[in-house]
Structure formats: C-alpha cells, structure tokens
Amino acid sequence: MPLRVRLTFAAITIGLFLIPALALYGELSKRADIWWTPRSLMVPLTQGTDRVEVYVRGMPLPALLEAGQLRVIDEASGSVLAPSDIGFRFNNWDRVRAQRVPILIGYAAACSALAILFLLLVTGRLAYRGEKEKVGI
C-alpha cells in the first residue's frame, strides 16, 4: 500500500478515534456530586420508606412522630414535628453509574478497535500483497 494512502487511512482512523475518545472523556469527567434529588423534589417520609428507614435511639422515626416525641426548639418557642415536616433527598449516583456502564464499555471498545487499526496501518501490516499464481505440477 503506498505511503500516501496509508497516511490518509491513518488520519481518518485518528479522526474516528477522537469521536468515542472525547465522548468517553466527557462521561468520565462529569461531576459525581450532582446526582442528589433537588430540594424542591424532596420525597416525603411516607413515600421514602421503600428506600430508607430512619431510627432515633432504636425507635423508628414514624412511630416517634406519631407519638409526638420529637420537637424542634427555636430561640423563642418549640413545636412538635409532624410527618409532613420530614423530607428525604436521595443520592442517585449508584443508579446513574449502573446505567452508564454499557455506554462506557462501548466507547472503550470503539477506542480499542480504532487504536489497533491505527497501529496496523502505521506499521504496514495491512499492505495489499496481491494474489500469487498457482504453481502448476
């Protein structure tokens, strides 16, 4: 394969390599602390029981709230906490990370395949050698 053709294919391979490489870099460089539930979408105590249970001194939080045993004391007054006063924010990083794994594996596989193709092109291992004629007996 002529050197000019080999360099052209190598340049195309590098260009194609940059597409999944930049996407992979973008996925891996995202901040990990942005996956918390927003404050405006906090989950009430009644809806959050399937994902979290809170205990205070060994007692479940809903039982303490129903019994009126939890109070918030301000500078001037104190008030009994109600179940509607409690809200949860969840960190969904584990779920997001699990959803990203197939995408990251695909990007890494594409980068690997293109890197191997580039090495084969640069070293001349893909050179066309033509067909040889059969030797007659």
pLDDT tens digits, 102-112: 999 999 999 99
Residue 76 φ then ψ, to 5°:
-100, -35
pLDDT at residue 80 above 70?
yes
pLDDT at 20 over 80: yes
Q: Is the pLDDT of residue 77 over 90?
A: no
CA-based max dimension of the chain: 111
> Reduced to 3 states, what is the DSSP secondary structure of residue 68?
coil
Averaged pLDDT for residues 15-36: 86
8 A C-beta contact, residue 67 and residue 121: no
Domain ranges for the chain: 1-35+100-128, 37-90
Contacts of 23 by beta carbon, 8 Å cutoff, 6+ apart: 107
pLDDT at 130 over 80: no
Cβ atoms within 10 A of the Cβ of 67, count?
10
Angle subtended at Cα 43 by Cα 93 and Cα 98, rounded to the nearest 5 degrees: 20
pLDDT interval class at 22 (50, 70, 90): very high
| Predicted TM-score (pTM) above 0.85 | no
| Mean pLDDT on 87-116 | 88
Percent over 90 (pLDDT), the chain: 19
Task: Give the pLDDT confidence score for residue 106 in this predicted structure.
Answer: 92
- CA 109 to mean position of chain CA atoms: 16
Q: Is 19 a residue whose pLDDT tops 80?
A: yes
**With bands split at pLDDT 50, 70 and 90, how would you rate the model's confidence at 1?**
low
* Whole-number pLDDT of residue 14: 92
